[in-house]
């Protein structure tokens, strides 16, 4: 077992979750969504998403579509998030869960972020969005 390194009272696990959350929020930024080079840094080359529509997206499909998807235009609706939490599943793997609202549509979201052995960058490996039926209370399982 590798001991957790302490940094000003913040554990390595807490820092890893914070880094994954920061990456998740960056991917919602219209400027990042509009820039292939910025998005490439945040998405793992093996990335897969199952969107709220049920569509399965690959890395290349997502990079090509990201600027045109909802939330990609700085003048349009933007992602609003709530209850974002994360847990380290294993060294180099963080699982995030949260709810989002975009253009009045709510979704429960789950992302896996990973840092490959020997690398410093965290990248989103998997993402899934599940629509929340209209009228259902927020933040309920």
CB 72 within 8 A of CB 31: no
pLDDT digits (tens, 9 = 90+) for 50-60: 998 899 999 99
Predicted confidence (pLDDT) at residue 2 exceeds the cutoff of 50: no
Predicted confidence (pLDDT) at residue 8 exceeds the cutoff of 70: no
CB 86 within 8 A of CB 20: yes
E strand or H helix at 62 = helix 59-65
Predicted confidence (pLDDT) at residue 7 exceeds the cutoff of 70: no
Least confident piece of the model among 21-25, 41-45, 92-96, 115-119 = 115-119
What's this model's pTM, rounded to 2 decimal places? Answer: 0.83
Q: What is the pLDDT of residue 5?
A: 45
d(CA 100, CA 82): 6
β-pairing, 123-131 with 43-50?
Answer: parallel
pLDDT digits (tens, 9 = 90+) for 69-94: 876 566 655 778 889 999 999 999 99
Q: Which residue has the tokens 């914070």?
A: 18
């Amino acid at each position: 077992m590798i001991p957790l390194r302490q940094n000003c009272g913040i554990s390595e696990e807490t820092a890893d979750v914070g880094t994954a959350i920061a990456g998740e929020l960056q991917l919602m930024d219209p400027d990042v969504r509009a820039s292939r080079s910025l998005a490439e840094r945040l998405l793992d080359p093996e990335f897969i998403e199952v969107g709220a529509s049920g569509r399965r997206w690959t890395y290349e499909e997502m990079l090509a579509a990201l600027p045109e998807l909802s939330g990609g235009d700085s003048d349009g609706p933007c992602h609003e998030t709530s209850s974002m939490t994360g847990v380290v599943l294993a060294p180099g793997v963080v699982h995030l869960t949260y709810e989002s609202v975009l253009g009045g549509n709510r979704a429960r979201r789950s992302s896996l972020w990973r840092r490959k052995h020997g690398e410093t960058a965290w990248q989103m490996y998997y993402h899934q969005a599940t629509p929340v039926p209209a009228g259902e209370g927020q933040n309920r399982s």
